[in-house]
C-alpha cells in the first residue's frame, strides 16, 4: 500500500522543523484536540469557567492583560501563535477560531503568560451565526487575526 500524498506532506512538514518546534507543534495539536473535545462534550458555560472571567471590552483588566510584557514573553506568544496556525489545517477536524484561541490560551497559561480571549459577532447584514474569537498576549496578536471589520467585539475573557 502506497501512503497518500497528504500523509507524505505531513511527515515532510514535521521532519522539516527543528526539535523545539516539533514539540511546540505537538503541544498545539494536543491543546486543540482538548479544546475540540471540551466544546463537544460540555456546555460552553462550563468550558468558559476554565478560560477566565468574561468582561466587557472596555474593562481595564483587558488592557492590563494584553500589554507588552517584554521581548522574551512576546517571542513565546509569537511562537505559540505560529504553532497553532501551523497545525490547524492538519488536524483531523475543522479547527475554527475558538479552538485555536483556546489552545493558544492554554499553552500561554502553562507558561505563566496572561492572555485576553476576545469574542465578537457580525453586525448589520452579517450572517446570524457570524462570530469570531481572537487572542492577544504580551502585546502580540496570537490567533484569529486579522479581525473582520464586520465583527463587533462583545466581550473578553481575562
For residue 139, the model assigns a pLDDT of: 86
User: 12-21, 97-106, 127-136, 147-156: which has the minimum mean pLDDT?
Assistant: 12-21
Is the pLDDT reported for residue 17 higher than 80? no
| Coil, strand or helix at 107 | helix
Instruction: Report angle CA 80, 82, 86 to the nearest 5 degrees.
Output: 120
The residues with which 123 forms a beta bridge, in sequence order, are: none
- Does the reported pTM lie above 0.85? yes
DSSP 48-106: HHHH--EE-TT-HHHHHHHS---HHHHHHHHHHHHHHHHHGGGSSS---HHHHHHHHHH
Is the pLDDT reported for residue 34 higher than 70? yes
Give the residue among 95, 97, 98 at the shortest CA–CA distance from 87.
Answer: 95
For the chain, which residues make up each domain, given as ranges? 5-157
Give the residue among 90, 80, 92 at the shortest CA–CA distance from 137.
Answer: 80
Average pLDDT value for the chain: 90
Amino acid at each position: 500500500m502506497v501512503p497518500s500524498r497528504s500523509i507524505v506532506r505531513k511527515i515532510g512538514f514535521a521532519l522539516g522543523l527543528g526539535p523545539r518546534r516539533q514539540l511546540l507543534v505537538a503541544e498545539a495539536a494536543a491543546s486543540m484536540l482538548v479544546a475540540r473535545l471540551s466544546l463537544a462534550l460540555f456546555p460552553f458555560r462550563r468550558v468558559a469557567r476554565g478560560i477566565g472571567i468574561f468582561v466587557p471590552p472596555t474593562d481595564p483588566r483587558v488592557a492590563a492583560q494584553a500589554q507588552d510584557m517584554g521581548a522574551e514573553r512576546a517571542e513565546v506568544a509569537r511562537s505559540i501563535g505560529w504553532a497553532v496556525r501551523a497545525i490547524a489545517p492538519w488536524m483531523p477536524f475543522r479547527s475554527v477560531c475558538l479552538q485555536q484561541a483556546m489552545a493558544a490560551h492554554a499553552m500561554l497559561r502553562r507558561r505563566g503568560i496572561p492572555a485576553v480571549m476576545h469574542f465578537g459577532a457580525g453586525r448589520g447584514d452579517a450572517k446570524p451565526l457570524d462570530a469570531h474569537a481572537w487572542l492577544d498576549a504580551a502585546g502580540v496578536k496570537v490567533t484569529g487575526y486579522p479581525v473582520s471589520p464586520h465583527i463587533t467585539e462583545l466581550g473578553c475573557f481575562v
